[in-house]
Amino acid sequence: MEIIPAIDIIEGKCVRLTQGDYAQKKIYNEHPLEVAKAFEDAGLRRLHLVDLDGAKAGQVKNWKVLETIAGKTALVIDFGGGIKKEDDVKIVFNSGAALVTVGSIAVKDEKELVRWFSVFGADKFLLGADVKDEKIAVAGWLETTDIRIYDFIEKYIDHGVTQLFCTDVSKDGKLEGPSTDLYKNIIQKFPALYFIASGGVSNMDDLHTLSEAGCKGAIVGKAIYEGRVDVRDLRSL
C-alpha cells in the first residue's frame, strides 16, 4: 500500500482542520516546502496537496506553493481545492501537479468534468468522494446528497477514472480510526480501482488494517503532524 502524506494550505502555510472546520485550524509549519522535503527524504513518493483557500473561494489560490514544491522535489503531486473552471485545471498542471484532484464538480457538473477528461485525459484526475452514511456529501460536508457512493464510483469508472480517494466525513481529522468496513465494500465491488483511503488514520495499526483490507493507498495527515506516526516507518508498508 502506498502512503500519500497530505499538506493542507491556508495563506501559504501548512495547516490541518478538524472535520473541515476552518475555525478549528492548527498551523504546523509556515513553510510547506520544508514539510514536503521531509516526506521525500523519508522515502515517500507522492503528495496530496490541498488548497483550502481555493476550496473556500471556488478558484485556485495557492498555486505558487504547488509550483515551489514541484520544482524542488521529485514528489508526484495531486492538487485540489476550488477547481471549477478549465483555466484552474491548466494552472494546476502548469504549476507541476501530476494529477488534479476533483470532488464537488463531480457531483454538481458531471458534464463539464467529463469534458475535461476528454481534453486532459481521465487518468490525469484523482476523484475525491466525501461520504456520510454511504451517501456523497458536498459543500464542505454540510450537505449530504442522495447519491450512493457505489453508484457514484461506478459512473466515473465508466467515464475512465482509475484513481479515487474516499473520506468518511465523520472520521476526518479526529484520529479515531478509518472506515475500514466501508472501504472493504468498495474494494470488493470495484477490484480494479486504485482505491485510496482517507480520514481517521491515527497510528500504524490503522495503516496495516487498511493495507490488509486491500487499499492501494492511504492519505495520512494529522497523525503525522501530531507525532502519532513517524514518516520513517511508512516506507515499510
Tens digits of per-residue pLDDT, 61-103? 999 999 999 999 999 999 999 899 999 999 999 999 999 999 9
- Structural domain containing residue 206: 2-236
pLDDT tens-digit series, residues 161-182: 999 999 988 776 677 889 999 9
190-235 pLDDT tens trace: 999 999 999 889 999 999 999 999 999 999 999 999 999 999 898 7
pLDDT of residue 202: 93
Mean pLDDT across the chain: 93
Q: What is the pTM of this model?
A: 0.94
Residues 6+ apart with CB under 8 A from 98: 76, 77, 78, 124
pLDDT attached to residue 150: 98
Where in the sequence numbering do the catalytic residues fall?
A: 8, 130
Residue 141 above 60 pLDDT? no
Total domain count for the chain?
1
CA dist 89 → 85, 145, 237 (Å): 7, 25, 32
160: CATH: 3.20.20.70
Beta-carbon neighbour count of residue 42 at 10 Å? Answer: 16
pLDDT confidence of residue 196 = 98
Mean pLDDT of 36-51: 97
Would you state the pLDDT for residue 211? 97
